[in-house]
Structures are given as structure tokens and as C-alpha cells.
Amino acid sequence: MLSRPPTHFLSHSSFKFVRECINSGDLERARYLFDKVPQPDLRAWTLIISAHTQCGFPKEAIKLYNTLKSRKISPDRLLLLSVAKACATAADLFKAKEVHDDAIRFRFHSDTLLGNGLIDMYAKCKYIDGARLVFEGMLVKDVVSWTALCSSYVNCGMQEQALVAFREMGSNGVRPNSMTMSSILPACSDLKFLNSGRQIHGYAIRNGMESNVFVSSALVNMYASCSSIRQAEMVFENMSRRDVVSWNVILTACFLNKECEKGLALFYRMRNESVKLNIASWTVIIGGCTQNGRNELALQIFGHMQGSGFKPNRIMIASIIPACTNLESIKGGKEIHGYIFRNQLLEDLKATTALIFMYAKCGDLELSQRVFSMMPIKDTITWNTIIIANSMHGNGEEALSLFHKMLDSGVKPNSVTFIGVLSGCSHSCLVDKGFSIFNSMSRDYSIEPKAEHFSCMVDVLSRAGRLKEAYEFIQRMSIEPTAGAWGALLGACRVYKNVELGKIAAKRLFEIEPDNPGNYALLFNIYVTAKLWDEASETRKLMRDRRIAKTPGYSWVQVRNRVYTFVVGDRSNKRYDEIYRFLDELGEKMRLAGYIPNTDFVLQDVNEEEKQGILCNHSEKLAVAFGILNSNGESSIRVFKNLRICGDCHNAIKFMAKIVGLQIIVRDSLRFHHFKDGYCSCRDFCCFLSGLRDDIKAGVQLLKPVGLLQAFEQARFQEEFISVTSRKGKSRSTFNKSTLVLPGPSQTTPSLRANTATT
């Protein structure tokens, strides 16, 4: 029960009543009482300023200090220390410098206690010059002073200087303590200095510090960062006491070192040992699952986390969206979008940028653009994402328009920006504009073209049919041509039936990436199209001799939260009779509308009737037919394929879309195709090899700075399209918490997949 304050405070009693309110957790009443004091003493000022900082209101604490100064009250060192902590919490460098000036003016700058606080203040503000200035002006430097300086270097990204300061500390006869150890080990982690880390570990053992939970956690992180996961586990298992941070560190170590199963087992062990999980624990496990291709499990654990009463924060949201992206689960993505909207997180750049890419990769460019237009703040990464999204969908003109809007808004482009823009020029056959953009990189923006930019330009020329110019461009390149450049040329040779250049490009590709089956398949296709059966047989023999297997093709479509997968001639679906009957009926209407099967895409030496039968069984046709049969009044369907869409299927789906009156969106290994009213958004430039491969590389580079990977702070996007091996046995999931099962180490993830066929 709080004492009732008198009507009129006396100055000497102010401290007592204010302290009682603060101790009871009632900051609002404490402030009310403090404001009633005519002349608070320095202890009361210090107490109320510190209380605001501790309760998460550092800016208000700084305002209180401004009020004190306006009353011409001279601070003491403790009051200045409380304000320094407020500046550190708020990371307010401008005010931090002012507090430092006040410390000098009132002659407290050489005081050890205040000096240590000022060093920490500058460290939190990432201003190393200020921290060094304070340190050098101190008459007495204790272990806290040296530790604060080392931490300042680490916080400012100057890890090597931190290690130098650590050595100087020993040279000056100051013995490091456990706080010093836990502060300097992150420098070894970031630099991957395993030997230095081991030396510090040895010192910690000799001085009895290994049992300290902070030192042990830092050692686990150091060994994990240096890819010494076994040593990290040994330190963890030998810890006498483990808190949730220690568990989170070893959990992070497993996922960062691609040991997903071990990480899952550890998480299950945490729950089994009744470790009290925090939001960082859930972030680590969800981000780790997403990173290691366990996207469905990531969504399941996300639902389980919500069922456990945890509310996702910004980092968590940014970690889970890539799982929806990788699974093309637009329904799950929309649910997370709704959560972002309801919780007013639209200003969070990481989450909204992730949404833009998720919608684009799931085939809904309109929603992607809508999210972008609603963002109040857009950085370079956001602009890059929407530019690449439009390039993926073949909107080259829009990608160029967005690029110019980006420049007009004052946002500086980077090398990834130009990959996105050049890819857009490639997909839309904008040769002259592509060259103009490419030439402006070094001239106007001081960005030297890299291999990806040269590959994009080869693709621009190749798609336009200017194969000779593309080959000459490769020969003139200032850097060694990569597989991307030669691949673009080889893909174009397949489309434009240029055997000679195709042989040259294939020969170089066999040298650069001899195990890529796609290159052999393209050369084989070129020979077959040219009726060069002997050369085609030689290519097949070369593949057999090198034990290279062609990647089997398959397509999939999502219907009512279930994914149905088809391979060529698939009859595993329970409704296969209905699917083939529908294709036969639709085929008649298509032929009446002018569709003629292109049997050039059958790479077998069989008669014409058999070729037409084979074409009807292609996986994308089966998936499209199944999607149409289950459209349920929707205006569009989305089909995905792991390889390039067949040229005949591309032509056939144009007719299908016109006859059934639906928009059919197909994403193959190159790009998105939007079929509507008998036309495709790609303008029939559908059979190239490298285009989207460059887009995907750009996406990886693009979203690294977004920071969607590392356990406590971030998780990264994964833009690689799902391979055959990662797709097998996987399914999409929803957030129905009542049906979620959190697997232990001996359980397998429950599959929600419907009838699927393996390849």
C-alpha cells in the first residue's frame, strides 16, 4: 500500500514518494508525483530518468534531461550516467554527443564509472570515434572500460580492432572477466578465427569461466560459426547450467550448418525437458526449417506456436513468408498478409518486401503490385523486388518504367537492380533499351557489369533471334563467359534451329558444367529437330557414358489446399478417366478453332499419329485439365512445372484458355506465362533456357540484405525453384491449429498431399 503523499511536497520528501511508485511499477503515477514537486533534488531526477529508460521510454527520459537543463540545474555524474543509458537505448547519437559535452563541461569526463557508461553509449550508437575519445581521456581504465571498448569495436563491425584491443588489455596487466570473454568471442565468430577462439576458450577454462552461461553460449556460437559443430555440441553438453539463450544458440548452430534433423531433435528435446521457449526459439526453428527446405514443417510449427499463445513479431513474420513462397501457397501467404494488416506491420520493409516476392512467385502479380503501391517507404531492395517480379512475369516495359520511377524517387540502384531490368528487357525483346541500360551502368552509376549482367545481354540478343550478334558479344566480353551466357545462346539455338552455333555453345557448356543434363538435352533437341539422328544418338551416348540422367518433367496444381502432381501419361489420379475424356472433348474444339499439334516437340522417331498421342499426355496439359475441372467458378488457375513448358503445350494452352474462358497461369523453369483470350504474355518467346535462371540468381542476391535467415535476427529468402528431389513427398499446408502435429525426432511430417505421382 503506497503512502499517501502530502498536498504540498517538500523537496526532501520527493525522492521517497517517487521511488515508492516506481518500485510498485506505476511509472505514470510516479511521473505525476514528480511533476508536482517544485524543486526535485538530483536523486529524484536521476530516479525518474532511469525509470523511463528501464520501462522502454528512453526518448522521454532524454526530454526530462532537457527540462533539467532548461532549469539551469547542474547534473552530477550519476545523473549523466542515467542520461547516457537513455541515449544508448534510443541510439540517439546527436544527444549522446551532447551528454558527452556536458560531462566535459562539468569535469566528469575522466571519471571511470561515467566514462564506462559513455563508451557503452557510443557503442550502442555505433560511433567508435566517440568511444575511443572517451577511453583515451580516462585516467583510470578498469576491466569494465576495456570490455566496453572491445564491445564498441564489435558493435561497429571492427572485429579485428576488437581483438587488437583485447590483446592490449592483457599487455596493460588488466585481466579479462567473463563479460569480456562473452564480448570478444563474437569477433572470432564473425571473422571465423577458430584458432583465436580456441585460445580464448583455453583461457576461460584455466580461469574457471567456462561454467559461465554467457561465456559458454558465446563459445558455442563461435565454434558453430567456424563450422566446428562437434566442438559446439561438446561445449553445450558440458554446460552445468543452460538457459533458453544457450539452447537457442546451439539450435541456431545446427541449422546454420545444414544439420536440420539434429536441429529438430534438439527442439524436441527442449520441449521434452520443459525448457521455457521464447519467441527467439520459435524464430530459430521456423527460420531453420525454411532454410533447409522443410517449408511445410515450418508452417506447421508456426501454427503450433500460435496455439501455444505466442504472438508472431516482425522477425517471425519475415521468417515464415518464404515458406509460403517456396511452397507457392498463396492461401497461406494471404493469411499472413491479413495478420500483417491487422497488426499494422505494413511499414515493416522486410515483411512487405517478402509479401511482394511471395505473391509474384505464386503467380499473382496484381497483388504483388498492390502491396508495393501501399508501402509508405520503399528502399532499394523493395524496388528491386517489384522490378524482378515484373521481369519474371514478362512485363519488361513495366520493369523499365519502375526502374525510372525508382530513379525519380531518389533511390539509388545497385547491381541487382540492373539484373532485374535487363531480364525484363530480355523477356520483352527490348534489345535497344537493353543495350542502353547496360551501357549506363558504369557510365552513369559507377557499377561495373558482372557475369550476370553480361549473361542477361546475351539473353536479350538471343531471344530476339540475333544469334550471331550474341555470339560476337560473348567473344568481346571483358570477363570469362559463364554458363549463363552460353546457356542463353544454346537455348536460342534450339528455338531458331541454329545447329552450328548450338554445337559451339554446347561444347563450352560441357566444359563449364559437365554434369548439367539440361545442356545435353538442348543439344539433343537441336539435332532431332534438324533430323540429325546420328548426332543425336552421339549426344545420348555421351550422357550415358558420363552417367548423366535427364531430369524427369512433372507439373502440379493446387486444388482446395491440396497439391496434385502429374507426369507424362499419368494415370495414377483417381479421376484420370475424366481428365483424358475432357482433354479429348477439348481437343476437338481446339482443332475446330485452328489448333494443329506441333509434333516437332516429340523427340522420338515414331509415326505422326503416335506423336500426337504423346503430345496429349504431357504433364502440363494434364495439370491444366485437372485445374479447369476443379475451377469452381474461379477466374484463373495456376499450374507449375519443373522444366520448360513444351512448345506444343504452350500453343495448346492458348486455345484452352480461350475456349474455357479462364486465365491460365503457368510457371515453368524460366518464367510465368499468362494465357488469356488465345494469347500468352510471353508473346510466344517460351523456349529459352537461361532467362529466369538469371532472375532467380538476382533474387538470391537481392534479398540477402533483407535479412531473413539468421536465427535471432533474420532469416533469408530462398528463390531457387523447387527441384525434383525436394518436391517429392511434400505438400502444402494451412494454419488449422487443431490438426497440427509437432513431430519429434522419430516422427515424420504428416502429409496433406492428395493423390500424387512420383517421377
Write out pLDDT tens, residues 501-535: 999 999 999 999 999 998 998 999 899 889 999 99
728: which 3 cell numbers? Answer: 517429392
Q: Are 27 and 51 in contact (CB under 8 A)?
A: yes
243-266 pLDDT, tens digit each: 898 899 899 888 888 889 999 999
pLDDT at position 12: 52
204: which 3 cell numbers? Answer: 576461460
Question: Going by C-beta distance under 8 Å and a sequence separation of 6 or more, which residues neighbour residue 493?
Answer: 467, 499, 501, 502, 505, 522, 526
pLDDT at 724 over 90: no
What is the average per-residue pLDDT within 610-637? 79
566-585 pLDDT, tens digit each: 988 888 888 889 999 999 89
304-326 pLDDT, tens digit each: 998 888 988 888 898 899 999 98
pLDDT at position 686: 54
pLDDT at position 599: 60
What is the average per-residue pLDDT within 491-496? 89
Q: Are 423 and 694 in contact (CB under 8 A)?
A: yes
Longest dimension (CA), the chain: 107
What is the average per-residue pLDDT within 681-702? 47
What is the average per-residue pLDDT within 426-447? 92
The full set of domain ranges for the chain reads 1-140, 384-546, 555-693
- Three-state SS at 607: coil
d(CA 164, CA 160): 6
Identify the weakest region by mean pLDDT among 34-38, 115-119, 423-427, 474-478: 34-38
What is the average per-residue pLDDT within 122-132? 92
d(CA 559, CA 329): 11
pLDDT at 354 over 60: yes
Identify the weakest region by mean pLDDT among 367-371, 379-383, 526-530, 709-713: 709-713
16: which 3 cell numbers? Answer: 521517497
pLDDT at 749 over 80: no
d(CA 618, CA 645): 10
pLDDT at 731 over 60: no
**Across-strand partners of 641?**
555
Confidence category of residue 6, pLDDT binned at 50, 70, 90: very low
pLDDT at 455 over 90: yes
**H or E element that contains 564:** strand 562-567
What is the average per-residue pLDDT within 82-89? 93
pLDDT at position 600: 59
* Cα-based torsion angle of the residue sequence 145, 146, 151, 154 in order, rounded to the nearest 10 degrees: 150
What b/e string do you get for 472-497 counting C-beta neighbours within 10 Å, with b at 16 or more?
A: ebbeebeeebbbbbbbbbbbbbbbbe
Question: Going by C-beta distance under 8 Å and a sequence separation of 6 or more, which residues neighbour residue 19?
Answer: 47
- The residue type of 640 is F
Q: Of 140, 148, 151, 141, whose CA–CA distance to 184 is shortest?
A: 151
- Three-state SS at 461: helix
**H or E element that contains 7:** none
pLDDT at position 301: 92
The more confidently predicted of residues 741 and 589 is 589
The more confidently predicted of residues 701 and 377 is 377
d(CA 149, CA 143): 10
pLDDT at position 330: 87
Pure H helices in 617-706: 619-629, 647-660, 691-703
Confidence category of residue 286, pLDDT binned at 50, 70, 90: very high
Q: Which CATH number fits domain 1-140: 3.40.50.620, 3.30.365.10, 1.25.40.10, 3.40.430.10?
A: 1.25.40.10
Alpha-carbon 183 to chain mean position: 28
Q: How many residues does the chain have?
A: 759
Place of cell 535476427: 713
The fourth-level CATH superfamily of domain 384-546 is Tetratricopeptide repeat domain (1.25.40.10)
The more confidently predicted of residues 726 and 243 is 243
pLDDT at position 758: 27
d(CA 233, CA 291): 21
pLDDT at position 13: 58
User: What's the mean pLDDT when you consider all of the chain?
Assistant: 82
The more confidently predicted of residues 562 and 148 is 148
Kindly report the CA angle at 416 between 415 and 418, in degrees rounded to 5? 70
What is the average per-residue pLDDT within 589-602? 77
Percentage of the chain modeled with pLDDT above 90: 48
What is the average per-residue pLDDT within 417-426? 94
pLDDT at 753 over 70: no
pLDDT at 46 over 60: yes
Confidence category of residue 739, pLDDT binned at 50, 70, 90: very low
One fold for both 1-140 and 384-546? Answer: yes
pLDDT at position 35: 78
The more confidently predicted of residues 742 and 610 is 610
pLDDT at 54 over 70: yes
Q: Are 227 and 221 in contact (CB under 8 A)?
A: no
What is the average per-residue pLDDT within 137-144? 91
d(CA 592, CA 76): 93
pLDDT at 666 over 70: yes
The more confidently predicted of residues 700 and 266 is 266
